[in-house]
Amino acid sequence: MKIFVLRDDEHSERVKRGLYNELKGLDLTKPKQVTITEYKEDKTNSQRSTFHFLCGLLAQETGNTPADVKEAIKQDMLGLKTISLGGVDREITRSSEEAKRDEYSLLIEGVYIEATSNGVILPILEIKS
> Which residue in 79, 129, 65 sits closest to 107, CA to CA?
79
Q: Is residue 37 part of a domain?
A: no
Residue 32, CB half-sphere, CA atoms under 13 Å: how many? 12
Strands (E), the chain: 80-85, 88-93
pLDDT tens per residue, range 13-62: 888 888 888 888 888 898 988 888 888 888 999 999 999 999 999 999 99
Q: Is residue 57 part of a domain?
A: yes
User: What letters, b where the CB count within 10 A reaches 16 and e where it falls short, cover 105-119?
Assistant: bebbebbbebbeeee
Q: Is residue 101 part of a domain?
A: yes
pLDDT tens per residue, range 112-127: 999 999 999 999 998 8
Q: With beta carbons less than 8 A apart as the criterion, state whether 83 and 89 touch.
A: yes
Q: How far is CA 127 from the centre of its chain?
A: 15
Work out how many domains the chain is built from and give that number.
1
CA-CA distance, 42 to 99, in Å (whole number)? 8
Q: Is residue 53 part of a domain?
A: yes
Higher pLDDT, 103 or 98: 103
pLDDT at res. 129: 65
Q: Is residue 34 part of a domain?
A: no
State the pLDDT confidence band at 9, using cuts at 50, 70 and 90.
Answer: confident
How many of the other CB atoms lie within 10 Å of CB of 61? 15
Q: Is residue 87 part of a domain?
A: yes
How many degrees, rounded to 5, is the angle at CA 9 between CA 6 and CA 14?
60
89: domain range? Answer: 45-117
